[in-house]
Amino acid sequence: MGRVYEYIMRRLKEKRALHFTLIDPEKQLKKTPGELAEEAADGGTSAFMVGGSTIASSGDMDETILSIKERTDLPVIIFPPGATFLSPKADALFFMSLMNSRNLGFVIREHLKGALFCRKTGVEPLSMGYVVVEPGMRVGEVGEVDLIPREDMEGAISYALAAQYFGMKFFYLEAGSGAPLPVPERMI
């Protein structure tokens, strides 16, 4: 396994829980990504995810990642909306399958491009099953997702087990940015 994966596993053993700060290149208003990253690092975040569902260009990704790396030594992991928004400036890439999408592009096809990107650039792939729970918000729409109902524990467990059996190292549940309620604690 790679350096970022080993860092995450080591930190999990030490702390039992980690906090990753998501920085969306499109949603920086008053502070630079580097300023936000520095504040988050001072507050105890473990790593940074860079991405979002409405990124305009890969140049935005590069600029955001470089700004973060100027202010902190913590890992920067791409949380990509698709293979066209990858950056060789990152430490790692969540190589994620949007498992409950109706669009095969988000389930597997974007990954074909991402696989070559990781091979050519040396950016570390971190395999992850990614599932969206009600209400889903914008990611549910863009990702063409069959949302998991908030009370469907068996459905969530089935997806998590499928991800594990496929050999994915991580599993991510999301209710969507700005959701009025988070993913139910019982489901997590």
pLDDT value at residue 144? 96
- Both structure tokens of 2: 């790679």
Read off the pLDDT of residues 103-119 as tens digits, 9 standing for 90 and up. 999 999 988 889 999 99
The strand pairing partners of 49, in sequence order, are: 22, 77
Read off the pLDDT of residues 54-106 as tens digits, 9 standing for 90 and up. 655 667 889 999 999 999 999 999 998 788 889 999 999 999 999 999 999 99
- Both structure tokens of 53: 């569902």
- Cβ atoms 166, 128 nearer than 8 A: no
Instruction: Please compute the mean of the pLDDT values over residues 125-154 and round it to a whole number.
Output: 96
More confident residue, 186 or 27: 186
Read off the pLDDT of residues 8-22 as tens digits, 9 standing for 90 and up. 999 999 988 899 999
Is residue 15 packed enough to be buried (19+ CB in 10 Å), middle (13-18) or exposed (0-12)? exposed
For residue 34, give Cα distances in angstroms to 37, 41, 67, 83.
5, 10, 5, 24
Instruction: Please compute the mean of the pLDDT values over residues 141-161 and round it to a whole number.
Output: 97
Mean pLDDT of the chain: 92
Neighbouring residues of 184: CB distance < 8 A, sequence distance ≥ 6: 133, 150, 151
Residue 98 sits at φ, ψ, to 5 deg, of -75, 85
Instruction: Please compute the mean of the pLDDT values over residues 43-62 and round it to a whole number.
Output: 82
pLDDT value at residue 53? 62
How many whole angstroms separate alpha carbon 128 and alpha carbon 5?
Answer: 12
Q: Quick one: DSSP state of residue 148?
A: B
Neighbouring residues of 170: CB distance < 8 A, sequence distance ≥ 6: 94, 126, 127, 128, 129
- Cβ atoms 82, 53 nearer than 8 A: no
pLDDT value at residue 30? 66
Enumerate the domain spans of the chain: 3-174
- Both structure tokens of 171: 């599993």
- Both structure tokens of 77: 């992991």
pLDDT value at residue 132? 98
How many whole angstroms separate alpha carbon 93 and alpha carbon 130?
Answer: 13
150: enclosing H helix or E strand = none
The yes or no reply on domain 3-174 and CATH 3.40.50.300 is no
